[in-house]
Structure 1
Amino acid sequence: MANTVEKHSESDHTKFHHLLREQVGHEFAAAQQYLAIAVWYDGADLPRLAAHFYRQALEERNHALMIVQYLMDKDVRVSIPGVSEVRNDFTDAREPVELALHQEETVTEQIVTLAKTARDEGDYIGEQFLQWFLKEQVEEVASMRTLLAVVDRADGNLFHVEAYLTRESVGEAADPSAPRAAGGAL
């Protein structure tokens, strides 16, 4: 008979840790949505848009695993949730980027709520952990807003969007200040 060791702290029951565990699911859902967008662009023979969203999917996966690592480091129970269905079909090339922008705005609201909750509960370590995510969300929303503007200005000529993504190397630099991801970042 094997010994099983359950170790979890009292902080498993704080509102902050509950919301943080939920955020793991939100980040994985965002990763899946970005993957669906990437596949849609790949199927439309738009390789730079596809690559951009494949990269975004990995980034969101890494965000989820950064939170998982933080929870494990804090000795808080972690379970990996399933995700709901994602949108796979779009009528034009603008819709996926618009969806991505709305998704980033929603994630920003979630991260702000997490930071407020950590502060309200006096969890200064949790609040500090979220500072990187707050900074990241400013960049993510700005990047998607810019990409949507580029798509709109391209006026249907998606090769201009592809050229923009190639020229600007959007989203290709790794951030050395990012928190550690469970299992390592991809």
Structure 2
Amino acid sequence: MTLNVKPFERRKSRFYELLQEQVRHEFAASQQYTAIAVWFSGQDLPRLASHFYRQALEERNHAMMIVQYLLDNNLSVAIPGVDEVRNDFADAREPVALALTQEKQVTEQIVTLAKTARDEGDYLGEQFLQWFLKEQVEEVSSMTSLLNVVERAKGNLFHVEDYLARESIGEDDADGFAPQAAGGAL
């Protein structure tokens, strides 16, 4: 007797559609962080530039974690293009404030994803998002602190550079519980 067993394939749901959109959001965030890093590099602020280059890689890795999840669940993946990003800023506060706004938006998107997974009874999807929820708490907190430091520096960005050097913000990213990124994390 031969069993005709199909490989596991989860139905394409609203959660799946939102995950596809989130890949785009994560790549867009990565591009925006790259633009911010380049702006800080052009201002001769290497610590701020380095911080945002790391953030850009982190967002890229988040997108690739979602890609790997989709692949692991035998769902098709489309790698999207992204919209234009902002490249010009009047002062150092503007790009950091933009980054904080972006992190708050991503947090809302991840919460919506988790709620959708729960509402649809997609327990695997809900579990997958737990790490992202924790990550977003850290991201918003870190960017809020950086914005506060920029504002308190009152234009003396060397204080901000010293803060980043002293606090090593974002440099200890090893998280053994992070989902695997397609192609490996950078």
- TM bracket (short chain): over 0.9
Indicate yes or no: 2:122 matched with 1:120.
no
Distance 1:105 1:181 in 2: 23
* Partner secondary structure for residue 67 of structure 1: helix
Q: How far is 1:9 from its partner?
A: 2.9
Task: Report the AA paired with residue 96 of structure 1.
Answer: P
Task: Report the AA paired with residue 183 of structure 2.
Answer: G
TM-score between the two structures when normalised by the length of structure 2 = 0.94
Task: Report the AA paired with residue 95 of structure 1.
Answer: E
Distance 2:82 2:56 in 1: 14
Alignment partner, residue 180 of structure 1: 180
Distance 2:52 2:175 in 1: 18
Distance 1:29 1:171 in 2: 19
Alignment partner, residue 90 of structure 2: 91
Indicate yes or no: 2:33 matched with 1:34.
yes
**Gapped regions of structure 1 (runs ≥ 5):** 1-6
Distance 1:99 1:175 in 2: 26
Alignment partner, residue 80 of structure 2: 81
Q: How far is 1:177 from its partner?
A: 1.2
CA deviation profile, 1:41-68 (whole Å, cap 9, x unmatched): 0000000000000000000000000000
Distance 1:79 1:46 in 2: 36
Alignment partner, residue 109 of structure 2: 110
Task: Report the AA paired with residue 168 of structure 1.
Answer: E
- 1:22-171 alignment runs, 5 A limit: 22-171=21-170
* Partner secondary structure for residue 179 of structure 2: coil
How many residue pairs match? The answer is 179
Alpha-carbon RMSD across the aligned residues, in angstroms, is: 1.0
- Is the contact between residue 69 and residue 181 of structure 1 (CA under 8 Å) also seen in structure 2? yes
**Gapped regions of structure 2 (runs ≥ 5):** 1-6
Distance 1:164 1:44 in 2: 17
Q: Taking every aligned residue pair, what percent have the same amino acid on both sides?
A: 75
Q: How far is 1:175 from its partner?
A: 1.5
Distance 2:46 2:123 in 1: 43
TM-score between the two structures when normalised by the length of structure 1 = 0.94
- Is the contact between residue 22 and residue 109 of structure 2 (CA under 8 Å) also seen in structure 1? yes
Distance 2:175 2:55 in 1: 14
* Partner secondary structure for residue 139 of structure 1: helix
- Is the contact between residue 20 and residue 67 of structure 1 (CA under 8 Å) also seen in structure 2? yes
Flag the 1:82–1:131 CA change in 2: closer, same or farther, 3 A. Answer: same
Distance 1:160 1:38 in 2: 18
* Partner secondary structure for residue 99 of structure 2: helix
Distance 1:48 1:111 in 2: 29
Task: Report the AA paired with residue 177 of structure 2.
Answer: S
- 1:3-14 alignment runs, 5 A limit: 9-11=9-11, 13-14=12-13
CA deviation profile, 1:77-129 (whole Å, cap 9, x unmatched): 10100000000000000000000000000000000000000000000010000
